Amino acid sequence: MKEDILEQIVDECLMHAGYLTTHNVKFRPARDHGQYESQQDSVHSDIDVIGIHPTKKGKDRVVVVSCKSWQGGIDLVGDIERIAETRKNPKRPTWKSYRELCRQKWSQAFIDKVQEVTGTREFTYWTAVTHIKRGEKALWEEHQDFITALEGNPIKVVTFDEMLDEVWNGISNTPAATEIGRMIQLMKASRWSPPSAAAKSLRKT
């Protein structure tokens, strides 16, 4: 089940590029892992989307996506600081939103599950977000701790508007595979376009 709009646009974007997708794949640390704690690790986490391309090779063949559909966007600077505990955490530690990037037992479980589903430990990892509130993508994509956690696999930060542009510009009249894809087709068929910045300003006055 595709639970939210961000996950649906990820799905449409990947399928548009020729990927076959699966959703909400559960994983958790192995019970025999040396750092396993039953009180903390018995509840599954989910891989939101896994895409497999039938003809691509190497790390482009599999795309693994973690969706962060927070309306306020992602603060790349602040989240890295909170993960490193150089900045005060909220009540829920920030690392728990990025388990596979931050804790080795979760990273191993994540990659083991990707291998189980796709047959490979090579993939490209997407952090899919509504928008970037602060920070450059490179700060996240080139963060050495994250790269190490994912066994050297590349990391990309992908925003909703980038995926929407990709689908909007490339979608055809052939019925789309997702609800959001079909909605975009109808929007294009209606000749709708986003309101101009000037129109947005007028509505505020």
d(CA 151, CA 170): 33
Q: Which residues contact 69 (CB under 8 A, 6 or more apart)?
A: 4, 5, 6, 7, 129, 130
pTM for this predicted structure: 0.87
Confidence of residue 198 (pLDDT cuts 50, 70, 90): low
pLDDT in tens, 132-173: 999 999 999 999 999 999 999 999 999 999 999 998 888 888
168 and 194 Cβ atoms separated by less than 8 Å: no
The pairing of beta strand 45-52 with beta strand 74-75: unpaired
d(CA 60, CA 24): 20
48 and 27 Cβ atoms separated by less than 8 Å: no
pLDDT in tens, 76-130: 999 999 999 877 777 788 989 999 999 999 999 999 999 999 999 999 999 999 9
CB atoms within 10 A of CB 91: 4
Query: Domain 5-204 class?
Result: alpha beta
Q: Distance between alpha carbon 167 and the CA centroid of its chain, in Å?
A: 16
